[in-house]
Amino acid sequence: MQECVACKLIKSLGDFGLGGTRPRQDGSRLRNKKCKACFSKESRERRAKSPEKYREESRRQYRENPASRRASARKWYALNTERAGNNNREWRERNRFRQALVSSCLEAKKRGHIECAADIEEIAIAFTGYCAICGEEKKETLLRMDHDHKTGRFRGWLCHNCNVGLGHFMDNSELLLKADTYLKGIQ
């Protein structure tokens, strides 16, 4: 048992982190004077007061030893897979339209098209939950942002099938009309 110098509560040794990097001569390890809860709370408060300072320190450490930082990140992810998945999911939900715009711009660059000229508010307002062509209701994650590859103008939200269909017709309305005529002639 040990008393925390911050909260003054007597807690078990498991509630205190190990201090120092080397064990004592008898093989035991030093314990921090503050319990893990108080240590974490003070650390969060320090970071909240000057986030830029800590962000810059983190960037500096990464520049100096990227392999170590990547290994550390992999280790944390292995221990916190569920938490990391939840964090990623929550971020995607909060930034759904931003992510759609960024992904669309990256794909456009990769394929040699002009990037979408819309802003996040414009695409968020246009989102209805329905495909703009077939009108089918889709989950938010199943609709794709569509834009004109030549002008960059945002056109709307499409389901996968309609988006791919437009792509196969090379966004050519005349080809689409010919396909419509063809289908009507078969029936």
Question: Residue 126 is part of a domain; what is its CATH number?
Answer: 3.40.1800.10
- What is the pLDDT averaged over residues 9-31? 77
Report if residue 62 sits inside a domain: no
Q: What are the C-alpha distances in Å from 42 to residues 54, 56, 58, 63, 96?
A: 14, 19, 18, 27, 33
Ranges of H-type helices in the chain: 36-49, 51-64, 66-79, 81-94, 96-111, 120-126, 160-168, 173-186
Checking if the pLDDT of 122 tops 80, the result is yes
Given this model, what pLDDT does residue 115 score?
Answer: 92
Q: Which of 19-28, 111-120, 150-159 has the lowest mean pLDDT?
A: 19-28
Residue 37 falls inside a structural domain = no
66-96 pLDDT, tens per residue? 898 889 889 999 999 999 999 988 988 889 8
34 within domain boundaries: no
pLDDT at 33: 86
In a domain, 88, yes or no: no
Burial of residue 174 (number of CB atoms within 10 Å: 0-12, 13-18, 19+): exposed
Percent of residues, the chain, with pLDDT higher than 70: 95
Question: How many domains would you assign to the chain?
Answer: 1
Q: Do residues 80 and 86 lie in contact, with contact meaning Cβ atoms separated by under 8 Å?
A: no
Q: Is residue 109 part of a domain?
A: yes
Can you read off the two tokens belonging to residue 150? 């030549």
Range of the domain at 173: 95-186
Q: What is the mean pLDDT of the chain?
A: 89
